Amino acid sequence: MDDAARDLRTWRKRVARIVQRAEAQPKRGALLLRDDVGELLGELKRLARAEPAVVLEVLLFLMERLSEVIGELDDGPGFAAGFVPEIMDRVRSVILHDAKTGDCRVDHASAVERMLRLWIDDAEGWYQELDALLLEATVTPGGEYALRRRLIEHIGDLPLCFPPPRGASDDLARALLLAERHRSERLLGEVLARSQQHEYSVIVARDHYRRTGDALDLAVSLHRSGCSDEAITVARKALASPRSYQRQRLQELLDEMLEGSELDQARETRRELERLFVDDPSRKGFAALKKAVTSDQWVRVRRRVLGHLQKHQKAPTLVFQLYLEEGEVIEADGLVVVQSVEPDRLVEGALGIAPDRPAMAAGWLLLAAHHRMARKTTSVYKQVVRDLTMVKGLAESGNARAQFERSLARFRARYARRRKFLALLDEAGM
């Protein structure tokens, strides 16, 4: 047996004696542990640089043994609550120092697996803060791989828990199982996020928010994944609800996301420009809105504001022109069928699309002619004849002469009482 193994065996025996001494005197056990563990930690600190592997092994063994006895002691003053974080700090120091120096004197994978087992089996909650330490231990590939693999195995071993029947509430067993699955999946999500794999943590947080109303994890995971807009929206929505959880931490997160955020200022500017444009549509307002919106968001914003105007039948001619300028020809065609667009703008639009969409252009010219005739004044007759002449030309170039003849016949029948207009059509050969 080498010196390191002999030393480790001696340290283990000492830890066992410390625990036995505390168990033998339950009423004073917590106080005895505080003194004995404090002395032990002082000695281990002096040994950490020389023998990090031995020190880490002793600290992990100490945590494992304490988990068996600490809940049985009378610890009203909270002595145990004081030294447990100190033990974890020492573990953290050894692991991170070894990773930083690259000495590889510590078995990171084994340490992670043992800490994860403590975290999983910690029914009393003494080692709940181990999740943060486990994440820090992923600084080495071995530690990250071990944590990811063991977590996936643990989650796979947990039975699936389905919602209770309609009208029934969760029983205790189901609630505990859901809580265990969530905390394990949440930790796995944090591990994956460290490798810029954010999707899993977002999915887990979204499910938790849907079931419980606790939005903190979802806001954090969205913000971390680069979806700051959605993170801010989720935080604001949750804080607006009187049933939201962790309100103080959620508000702090929201303040942090908004503090000095040019993105938020731009968002508020965009919302104000949207409101102004929808309330008073104008070409100038549309241009200002487009300038304030990023290119990746513009299509969505454009369709929202123009769709709103179309739905409420506001400024149809302007909406028609903006659709064409933005290349939304199909939307423009859908608009002219149900709303009245100024005839001159219809003709301009028809001439613009005629080379590529002659049939659609002919339809717009016919609509323009009908809109002019609706004014019931003889001054529009010559313009209508010009419109129909262009329709005829498009029909002939597109082998749609028969279809044009039918449309012309219906047009003449509709306005049969306007003899002066029919005479102009006859003169134009129609």
Annotate 343-389 with DSSP letters as a single string: HHHHHHHHHHHTTT-HHHHHHHHHHHHHHHHTT--GGGHHHHHHHHH
* Contact indicator for 428, 412 with CB cutoff of 8 Å: no
Averaged pLDDT, 79-101: 85
pLDDT tens sequence across 261-299:
555 556 667 788 888 888 889 999 899 888 888 887 888
Q: What percent of the chain has pLDDT over 90?
A: 23
pLDDT confidence of residue 267: 65
Residue 323 has pLDDT above 90, yes or no: yes
Angle at the Cα of 113 (from 112 to 114), degrees rounded to 5?
90
Residue 150 has pLDDT above 90, yes or no: yes
Q: What percent of the chain has pLDDT over 70?
A: 93
257 vs 331 pLDDT, higher one = 331
- Which two structure tokens, joined as six digits, stand for 11? 């340290």
Angle at the Cα of 67 (from 99 to 15), degrees rounded to 5?
75
Averaged pLDDT, 306-324: 92
Q: Residue 215: what residue type?
A: A
Confidence of residue 315 (pLDDT cuts 50, 70, 90): very high
DSSP 328: -
Residue 1 has pLDDT above 50, yes or no: no
How many angstroms separate the CA atoms of 360 and 353, rounded?
8
pLDDT confidence of residue 114: 92
pTM: 0.56
Q: Residue 263 to residues 209, 268, 280, 293, 299: CA-CA distances in angstroms?
A: 25, 9, 25, 11, 18
Residue 363 has pLDDT above 60, yes or no: yes
pLDDT tens sequence across 13-27:
999 998 898 888 878
Q: At what angle do helices 295-311 and 316-325 cross, to 10 degrees?
A: 150
- Which two structure tokens, joined as six digits, stand for 91? 């573990």
Task: Tell me which residue of 107, 190, 179, 198 sits closest to 146, measured CA to CA.
Answer: 107
Residue 372 has pLDDT above 70, yes or no: yes
Task: Tell me which residue of 317, 371, 314 sits closest to 345, measured CA to CA.
Answer: 317
Average pLDDT for the chain: 85
Question: Which range, 60-69, 208-217, 242-251, 318-327, is most confident?
Answer: 318-327
pLDDT confidence of residue 25: 84
Averaged pLDDT, 377-393: 87
How many angstroms separate the CA atoms of 345 and 320, rounded?
8
Angle at the Cα of 166 (from 165 to 167), degrees rounded to 5?
110
Averaged pLDDT, 341-370: 90
How many angstroms separate the CA atoms of 84 and 96, rounded?
19
